[in-house]
């Protein structure tokens, strides 16, 4: 899958449908992490060898590409704050290769149509940016790179940091919906998270930093309902969750809730990219079990405290991990049409 986050996850049948919905929201947020609002987080935790990237890759062939993409993203985020959450998602599926943009054909169901990607939207922003780039530099810039730029640019309007994006990614030719079920679920414990990230060459330090993307965005009830009712045989509510916070979530997500869009914002400042998310973890006021799990390991717990006390420290780590994650790429071409391979 290509660059960015996105960035949302569910997938398995009966029980699977619930888990699927859960994963879908998780992605939404991670993806943000990946940049934007999430963002930029659909990820195939089996990445391909990376193509050589460089900061000046388009210096002579398309020097204004980042300006063009930034303007397209700015126009879109002014109309829809959630658009950014889509961009980063691409990073976790086959590396940052824009495979999430491909359309299904016949019996081949692609990532975009996988249970974990059903909430993704905003791809029109990438198509618009690509069209404008093609008018100036035909056949030069990949969708994968445009996604990477968009993930970065989507974070800025919400108060997040900016950074130099390494360039030179190629677009992938393969996309499978089945691979999206490999994404980390919001119910994962620390061991499961560590295994998932290590499979794609990322550390738990990266996991903690990228999770800061949860500071922006929204999650459906299905992704955290396991914590507010029937938690286990001993507790109805997850004991690590603050009682008043759990009560507020139970009122928002009633037992027989059938509204598809019911849920809660990831944190009170859900439209601002800051370090509030880490402070909420320490207060027992985060939505996902996987977030609260960061306090069960000495190393990740220490990082949570550090990021909660310093936005600057968090942003520096976030940038480094975003660059590391978006550099996963095994594409083979400069796709002419985002929906089909050449």
Distance CA(159)–CA(168), nearest Å, equals 27
User: Residue 105: beta bridge partners?
Assistant: 108
- Print pLDDT tens along the chain (342 aa): 444 433 333 333 333 344 444 444 443 333 333 333 333 444 333 334 455 789 999 999 999 999 999 998 888 777 765 555 445 544 454 556 666 666 567 676 656 555 554 455 567 788 889 999 999 999 999 988 998 898 888 888 888 899 999 999 888 776 555 565 667 788 999 999 998 888 778 899 999 999 998 887 788 898 899 999 999 999 999 999 999 999 999 999 998 877 777 889 888 887 788 999 999 999 999 999 999 999 999 999 999 999 999 999 999 999 999 888 888 766 778 888 766 677
Where are the strands (E) in 154-262, listed by range?
218-220
Asked whether the beta carbons of 9 and 116 are under 8 A apart, the reply is yes
DSSP 48: P
DSSP 51: P
The closest of 39, 45, 178 to 104, measured between CA atoms, is 178
Question: What's residue 102's pLDDT?
Answer: 65
Question: What's residue 207's pLDDT?
Answer: 92
Q: What is the pLDDT of residues 52-73, one digit of tens each?
A: 789 999 999 999 999 999 998 8
- Note the pTM of the prediction, 2 decimals: 0.79
Q: What is the pLDDT of residues 100-122, one digit of tens each?
A: 666 567 676 656 555 554 455 56
The closest of 180, 173, 47, 40 to 113, measured between CA atoms, is 180
What 164-168 contacts at long range (C-beta under 8 Å, 24+ apart), as own/partner pairs, is 164/55, 165/55, 165/66, 165/323, 165/326, 166/53, 166/54, 166/55, 166/57, 166/323, 166/326, 166/327, 167/53, 167/54, 167/55, 167/56, 167/57, 167/58, 168/51, 168/52, 168/53, 168/54, 168/57
Between CA 178 and CA 312, with CA 81 as vertex, the angle to 5 degrees is 95
Asked whether the beta carbons of 271 and 82 are under 8 A apart, the reply is no
First to last CA, the chain: 16
Question: What's residue 190's pLDDT?
Answer: 96
The closest of 190, 198, 216, 230 to 318, measured between CA atoms, is 216
Burial class (CB in 10 A: 0-12, 13-18, 19+), 334: middle
Distance CA(40)–CA(9), nearest Å, equals 14
Question: What's residue 147's pLDDT?
Answer: 85
Distance CA(323)–CA(34), nearest Å, equals 9
Find the radius of gyration of the CA atoms of the chain.
Answer: 19
Distance CA(274)–CA(322), nearest Å, equals 16
Question: What's residue 82's pLDDT?
Answer: 55
């Amino acid at each position: 899958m290509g660059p960015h986050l996105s960035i949302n996850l569910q997938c398995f049948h009966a029980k699977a449908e619930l888990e699927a919905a859960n994963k879908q929201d998780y992605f939404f947020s991670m993806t943000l992490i990946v940049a934007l609002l999430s963002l930029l987080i659909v990820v195939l935790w089996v990445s391909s060898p990376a193509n050589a990237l460089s900061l000046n890759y388009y210096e002579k062939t398309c020097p204004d590409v980042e300006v063009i993409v930034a303007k397209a993203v700015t126009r879109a985020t002014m109309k829809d704050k959630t658009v950014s959450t889509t961009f980063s998602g691409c990073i976790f599926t086959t590396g940052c290769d824009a495979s999430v943009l491909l359309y299904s054909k016949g019996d081949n169901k692609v990532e975009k149509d996988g249970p974990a990607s059903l909430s993704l939207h905003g791809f029109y922003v990438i198509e618009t940016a690509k069209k404008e780039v093609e008018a100036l530099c035909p056949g030069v810039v990949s969708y994968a790179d445009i996604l990477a730029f968009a993930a970065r640019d989507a974070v800025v309007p919400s108060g997040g940091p900016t950074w130099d994006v390494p360039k030179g990614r190629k677009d992938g030719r393969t996309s499978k919906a089945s691979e999206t079920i490999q994404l980390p679920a919001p119910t994962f414990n620390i061991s499961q998270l560590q295994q998932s990230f290590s499979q794609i060459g990322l550390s738990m330090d990266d996991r903690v930093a990228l999770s800061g993307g949860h500071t922006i965005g929204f999650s459906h009830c299905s992704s955290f309902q396991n914590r507010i009712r029937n938690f286990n045989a001993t507790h109805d509510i997850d004991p690590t969750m603050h009682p008043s916070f759990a009560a507020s979530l139970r009122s928002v997500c009633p037992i027989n809730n059938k509204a598809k869009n019911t849920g809660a914002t990831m944190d009170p400042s859900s439209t601002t990219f800051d370090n509030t998310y880490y402070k909420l973890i320490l207060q027992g006021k985060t939505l996902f079990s996987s977030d609260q799990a960061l306090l069960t390991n000495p190393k990740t717990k220490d990082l949570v405290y550090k990021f909660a006390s310093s936005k600057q420290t968090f942003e520096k780590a976030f940038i480094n991990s975003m660059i590391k994650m978006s550099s996963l790429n095994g594409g083979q071409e400069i796709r002419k049409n985002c929906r089909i391979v050449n």
